[in-house]
Structure 1
């Protein structure tokens, strides 16, 4: 089903078209409404609109300029112009091939449906015949090396995904490594002379080394290459089918034999063809992906220990039982960082992050006062940052818990730290939620007050936004979040309720009531009223007696 956007500064025209035309019968699944070109552009930026029907004459940016912007920025969005006879010739000359059709006011419902249905069929035909998919695949192919590198780097740094998500990404990017495959890593460090290169030259050098790695290992291993945050080149190597891991072969297994041989060959190839010396470390074997971050961080620690600042050492292969003794907290510093989650207001993710950090403390460092204190100060800093961004001091937000933190009471045990974190987090969540809630409720009250006072005028989202000095898209969104109702639907419902009351309580003529609720055209009013109540205004009045 397609998405349609109706644009007209006359709200009654938009509302009439939205509610009286059986759009779904011609393949339109969602109908969006805009009452200015600016509002229409905001909707286009956040929704995949397939078809736009717009008037020409609108204040500010008119329909012709709107269509020009649409054809420039959203080339697959079709446009139909809604215009009067006086504007028809001008419209033809001004935009010619930029629109699919013209609709001349006034237009019968049957003709409108027929003309829009034709454009819907055109859209479907083009989608079946066009080369969008091929273009997307070409773009994906052009960016594959970068996308592959970024994914591996994320996984090296410990970014968590489900096994299903990992498998899906690997398949999409054409990476021949699957969950539960064995792997090992090669860490390649450049020597000092590389630092003299400019970024472009460095990119060429990394590309060249990556190509040499693929050529060197391609007979026996699938390789996946990335540059890590330390500017090491990391090569993940997974054995191809048929390469044994048994221990009968001299040297500790066929795959180990070939890995050590080819790692040495790679170092020699880089020196021979690129005239540069590199240090190469081969990690212990692991299981992908659950052991990837662990093997990587262990390899980094051993790299520092074994190579130091030496320049011309041979390839070093980590023994299967060789591990660097780790004393650092892991989950506190793995992405995403706590302060980033808090800044985004993702409180569920904040709670999960803190719980994982506390679990690691309990399991590995419950007797280490230093590690408990490290977590406390990191969390305290994140809490302070969020408070200061809100224009508050942390002490104002958390009250007595601030004194406990200043005295380092939470650092005594993991349990006391957990209690302090949970108490402080509740204070901060409560403050940010109430701050947001109060601001939104105030905006809704002011909106409703303005609409009720201006109902007889052509009240629109733009006029309300101008009055409240808010962006139309933002106002529309928060109104829906707070009330569960679209602002345009609220205005429409209020008009219908006012009209029904006037029909029952007064003897005003139908056209007078139409004007009083903001409809200058009585025919529009009658059609919309009948759509809402199931009877004409006259019948409704008669039945109410």
Structure 2
């Protein structure tokens, strides 16, 4: 857990932060803030769990600080330290859900007891959030979506280990087993077009309910709508028997389904069903055959029922599998997952070498898809392949890159490397631009709000993201930079102007001159006036 100590008395903060065995309470990080504003910046940039704050500070009281903290994160636990035993202060602290109200100076026992209480409350809340019962409730609430996503993944060819399949089928309460299964694809025909812009999902839900009602008497039914608009059902017979009898039974149920949908929903269905296959290994291949059959055989026919047999299987020369299986190459490039993209290329070329070493067409298929993915990501980043590769693009234009697997492999890996380097440079340039914008804004507006939130709003980034970018690019935290900028500006004004100390304090963003003097002395060991006097005598 992370602890933040806030007080305008620097010696008090430093003593509490550095001289107490916080690790014995499970505290892994202790942060220090000498003002409420600095505290809010630290809270936004770090995962603070517990805040110990003085109640009377310049700019903002401890109670007001708690109000701001509640706006940022309601889960943070706050402890108030006060030199006042005034009942009104304590009442306000309780009203704002402070864990404890501790009088200064607290004994170690009092302070540790307060932090321990805050820690125990946090642990109890997170235990409740992550509890088994809550997880199960959330799972039940989202079960239809989770089941659908799992089936869609299987249709697309996403690979899961057998143990992972077993775990997910049990977790999602799916009565599906490894073994004989059928796929049924349903196309809702043109009569349902009237619902396209109003209630389409409800009609699809009705069709799926009717299908589950009719088929569910004899088979376990697992359905989802796919990306092509088909309703896809994976079926497994409840009673084991000859698969041929299963085909006949399911074919009769499909006729019934067509009839009931026609009767109750006034629309027609076309249906394609596969022959039995082994779940889950053969799901993607059977699904692709079914989709292909709708396109090649059913076509524009209506109220069609077709059961695929051996004669409808794909030609013996086969199709490339790895390039079409998720995650797709384009998705990996979009996400900047360069190592995974290189592994994807390795899988594609491994399949070409093993199964299609003599097929120019398969090499061309892979080449066109790889080149399209590379070109798309280059253009998305304001680049061109020709600009990145120079003369190597000629190999693509004249077809030389597709002439053999080895040449395509060399061209693809070269293009990937060029893209990776270019986008890395662009990322560094983008970070530099953000840092420059932040620094320019802070320099011009030091007398106004230059908190982390204000700076993040200026460059349209989340506070955490901006904080990380700035630290990566400069090696310095934003709050450290602003504090350093203020002190540098103060030193310059003290040396080069005759402005009063309170005027300089306001100009660099300190509303309370006394607080400015305290911070300045902590930084340089002398007060601003002493610094000015020393500068004038040298």
TM-score (norm 2): 0.72
SS of 2:523 mapped into structure 1:
coil
> In structure 1, what is the Cα distance between the partners aligned to 2:392 and 2:292?
38
Counterparts of 1:342-381 in structure 2, within 5 Å, are 342-381=333-372
TM-score (norm 1): 0.72
Q: Which residue of structure 2 aligns with residue 231 of structure 1?
A: 229
Report whether the alignment pairs 1:518 with 2:516: no
What's the offset of the Cα at 1:76?
4.3
Counterparts of 1:75-94 in structure 2, within 5 Å, are 75-82=74-81, 85=84, 89=88, 92-93=91-92
CA change 1:102–1:211 in 2 (3 A) is: same
Q: Which runs of 5+ in 2 are unaligned?
A: 439-449, 482-518, 527-538
Report whether the alignment pairs 1:141 with 2:140: yes
SS of 1:358 mapped into structure 2:
helix
> In structure 1, what is the Cα distance between the partners aligned to 2:346 and 2:131?
44
Q: Which residue of structure 2 aligns with residue 393 of structure 1?
A: 384
Q: Which residue of structure 1 aligns with residue 176 of structure 2?
A: 177
CA change 1:392–1:317 in 2 (3 A) is: closer
Of 377, 397, 411, 2:402 maps to 411
Q: Which segment drifts farther, 343-352 or 73-82? A: 73-82
Of 247, 251, 258, 1:267 maps to 258
What's the offset of the Cα at 1:122?
3.5
Report whether the alignment pairs 1:318 with 2:314: no
Q: Which residue of structure 1 aligns with residue 156 of structure 2?
A: 157
What's the offset of the Cα at 1:323?
1.1
> In structure 1, what is the Cα distance between the partners aligned to 2:131 and 2:69?
18
What's the offset of the Cα at 1:318?
1.6
> In structure 2, what is the Cα distance between the partners aligned to 1:363 and 1:158?
20
> In structure 1, what is the Cα distance between the partners aligned to 2:168 and 2:64?
41
CA change 1:161–1:207 in 2 (3 A) is: same
Of 181, 200, 203, 2:201 maps to 203
SS of 2:234 mapped into structure 1:
strand
Q: Which residue of structure 2 aligns with residue 112 of structure 1?
A: 111
CA deviations over 1:157-192 (Å, ceiling 9, x no partner): 2234444444433333222224x3332111111010
CA deviations over 1:15-70 (Å, ceiling 9, x no partner): 65444332332244555677442441354xxx5x6544456678999865664465
SS of 1:341 mapped into structure 2:
helix
Report whether the alignment pairs 1:300 with 2:288: no
CA RMSD of aligned residues (A): 4.6
Q: Which residue of structure 2 aligns with residue 98 of structure 1?
A: 97
Of 191, 194, 199, 1:193 maps to 191
Q: Which residue of structure 2 aligns with residue 334 of structure 1?
A: 325
Q: Which residue of structure 2 aligns with residue 283 of structure 1?
A: 274
Kept in 2: contact 1:156–1:296 (CA 8 A):
yes
Kept in 1: contact 2:151–2:224 (CA 8 A):
yes
Q: Which residue of structure 2 aligns with residue 41 of structure 1?
A: 44
What's the offset of the Cα at 1:396?
3.3
How many residue pairs are counted as aligned between the two chains?
476
Report whether the alignment pairs 1:244 with 2:240: yes
> In structure 1, what is the Cα distance between the partners aligned to 2:298 and 2:119?
66
Kept in 1: contact 2:289–2:313 (CA 8 A):
yes
Q: Which runs of 5+ in 1 are unaligned?
A: 448-459, 492-513, 522-545
What's the offset of the Cα at 1:442?
11
> In structure 2, what is the Cα distance between the partners aligned to 1:463 and 1:265?
62
Kept in 1: contact 2:44–2:464 (CA 8 A):
no
SS of 2:199 mapped into structure 1:
helix
Kept in 2: contact 1:301–1:324 (CA 8 A):
no
SS of 1:118 mapped into structure 2:
helix
CA change 1:198–1:405 in 2 (3 A) is: closer
Kept in 2: contact 1:36–1:59 (CA 8 A):
no
Kept in 1: contact 2:453–2:463 (CA 8 A):
no
CA deviations over 1:230-285 (Å, ceiling 9, x no partner): 11110111233xx22446xxxx24x3343333333323332333333211221122
Of 206, 210, 213, 1:212 maps to 210
CA deviations over 1:115-162 (Å, ceiling 9, x no partner): 111222344455667896545433332222122112211221223444
Kept in 2: contact 1:4–1:31 (CA 8 A):
yes
> In structure 1, what is the Cα distance between the partners aligned to 2:331 and 2:360?
26
Kept in 2: contact 1:37–1:61 (CA 8 A):
no
What's the offset of the Cα at 1:113?
0.9
Q: Which residue of structure 1 aligns with residue 464 of structure 2?
A: 473
